[in-house]
Structure 1
Amino acid sequence: MDKGKDMNKQFAVLGLGSFGRSVALSLEKMGCDVMVVDDSYEKIQEISDKVSYAMKADVTDKDALQALGARNLDGAVVAVSEHPEANIMATLLCKEMGIPLVVAKAKDKLQGTILEKVGADSVVYPEIEMGSRIAKSMVANEFVDWIELSNDYSIVEIAVPRRWEGKSLAELDVRKKYGITVVGVMQGEKMDLSFDPQTPLPGNVILVLIGANKILEKIKIEEK
């Protein structure tokens, strides 16, 4: 995809097990351009009309991954379920191709350590973290939704904090102040990924943020 023509965030999801499919559909719902790769024709057919691009291929095939336009991707989620070695190889290839953010799924801590050593920016333990996510969703009332990317990073939807109302994203400069990224602004059912950073934030919108859990938690506590 030509990023110059499409300012949406672009992500690749490699592997369409239950976790990979969930992440792909969640990112697409948030207005991102999502490209998925899996070696199962059935899984590709099932999701092809729900994401921006779906390709049947081996996730360890460098040529296939390059066909996604890796240089234009904002990130990739490596989520092969059946073959840990494929997860490791795909993670290595993604980093070699220069994808800035690579989140890799691990079955256990040993595999997670290996994934980190080959370059994964963040490692996800879906089976381990599900309990944590459920618990967090029960207490994080300020957040509309919370999607854990790893033990340390999450995507959240949050109502505009009261002290942010009437201020522009440029004025707030949350990336510099908090180290978090505003992915988009949701007004009703519409996701605006090109919200003017100079426009004051109204109080009736939802912000979609990506950042470290400890920072997101801090924002929540400050608003109480």
Structure 2
Amino acid sequence: MFITQGNGMIETMSELVAYTKKEAELFPSLASRIEIKPRGEAGFRLEDIPNVFPDSYLKYVNGFSFFKVSIGPFNLWPSMVVEEGMSNSLISANSMVEHWSDFLNSRFLCLVASFDADFICVGMRGSEIEGGVFLVDITSSPKWRVVDVASGFEFFLLLAANLMRLCDEHDGDVAEVLSEMDKVTRKFNCTEAQSSFWRSVAKELMA
């Protein structure tokens, strides 16, 4: 599901919530897949979540509805598992397949979302990368690799939303999307590695 129709850079969670609400109103049949609501999922119990998840992530998953919501190709829950509910999905995704959990644990990563078939993870509580957001590329090579995406989950959400906004506003104009996305990544103080990731996704979406 692609979020469409932008109106300037999305810089805060309140702006993101308002933006997705407007989009849900434009596409009512897809509203539940688009809208990020400023409340936690009904039945979500923070105490059920293992304490390896960083507070900087739990703050958002406890305060906003992400289950079965997507920003373009970014699914905001672990879409590779079939469990119902955000807490069950998080628990299952991080324990259900041994080689997944071995790889993630050895790199201090918690699986929280997905990008197409690849994993989106946050750095574990207490680790040197705590709260950072990373892509685990499991599809382009048999040898999995970890890619730095954003310094925090809020920045990840805002970067993803701005990318989709730009792809819609400048449909077919790859150079303009890349130029405007560079402004977004500078706004959120992305590293060169993080900026490179967002440029590569922009090129892929505009291909």
TM-score of the aligned structures, taking structure 1 as reference length? 0.29
Q: Which has the higher helix share?
A: 2
Indicate the structure (1 or 2) with the bigger Cα radius of gyration: 1
Q: Which has the higher strand share?
A: 1
Structure showing greater relative contact order (alpha-carbon pairs closer than 8 Å, 6 or more residues apart): 2
